[in-house]
Amino acid sequence: MSLNLNPRTVVFDYGDVISLPQNAEDFARTVELTGVDAETLLPPYWKHRAPLDQGTISVLEYWRLIADELGTHWDEARIQEIWISDFRSWLSIDPEVFAIIRELSEGGTRLALLSNAGADFGGYFRHGPLSGYFDAFVVSGEIDMIKPNHDIYVHTLNLLGIDADRMVFIDNKEENISAARELGITGHVYTSPGSLRAFLTELA
């Protein structure tokens, strides 16, 4: 089976679309390494995530900010361990979504990835097993732009060399899709592989 959406380019978000939800075992290990409980860790963990994803702070700065809020200290070796565990927790992909990506590629549909992610994810996206399916990668932490701001969508369109009506964007957050639609991009709020397949099939 294949899906041909030419002349459109389908642009995928990564987190909770291509990827599975954060791995519970890896996150539990992350929590253990920090020395606090999950309820204590999560508020500063998410509070500082947007600057990390935008690239305005480094991984080291991110974890040091969290430590400061928790009133603790981790040396660089411990931060390395925490970072590895946290990074790994976001790497598992959904096989059903991968099947759709493969079918789009086999059908000759051009694909790209647009993710709010730290710059440390750039290598994983570009050099991992899925990299060959995508023509372009836009990683927010590399370019000081972040969804849902319009500039990251304009950057993506310029990188792909297409007009807004040639881009189809898949993201799990309504605010990100709404911002894309304001620019004339076709958007789909991801909820499940089945609904995504139905949307793409109808569009094709």
Grade residue 101 by pLDDT with cuts at 50, 70 and 90. Answer: very high
- 124 has pLDDT over 80: yes
The pTM assigned to this predicted structure is 0.95
Q: Which residue has the higher pLDDT, 141 or 2?
A: 141
What is the 8-class DSSP label of residue 186?
E
How many whole angstroms separate alpha carbon 188 and alpha carbon 125? 22
Share of residues in the chain with pLDDT > 90 (%) = 98
How many whole angstroms separate alpha carbon 153 and alpha carbon 179? 9
* Residue of 27, 23, 19 lying closest to 130 (CA atoms): 19
pLDDT tens digits, one per residue of 132-143: 999 999 999 999
- 4 has pLDDT over 90: yes
Grade residue 109 by pLDDT with cuts at 50, 70 and 90. Answer: very high
**Cα Dmax for the chain:** 55
* Residue of 71, 65, 57, 68 lying closest to 119 (CA atoms): 57
- 10 has pLDDT over 80: yes
Radius of gyration of the chain (CA): 18
- 1 has pLDDT over 80: no
pLDDT tens digits, one per residue of 144-196: 999 999 999 999 999 999 999 999 999 999 999 999 999 999 999 999 999 99
What is the 8-class DSSP label of residue 118?
-
Mean pLDDT of the chain: 97
What value does the mean pLDDT take over residues 34-54?
A: 97
- Residue 30's pLDDT is 98
Identify whether 43 is preceded by a cis peptide bond (ω within 30 of 0): no
- Residues with Cβ < 8 Å from 95, sequence gap 6 or more? none
How many whole angstroms separate alpha carbon 144 and alpha carbon 188? 25
Terminal CA-CA length for the chain:
13
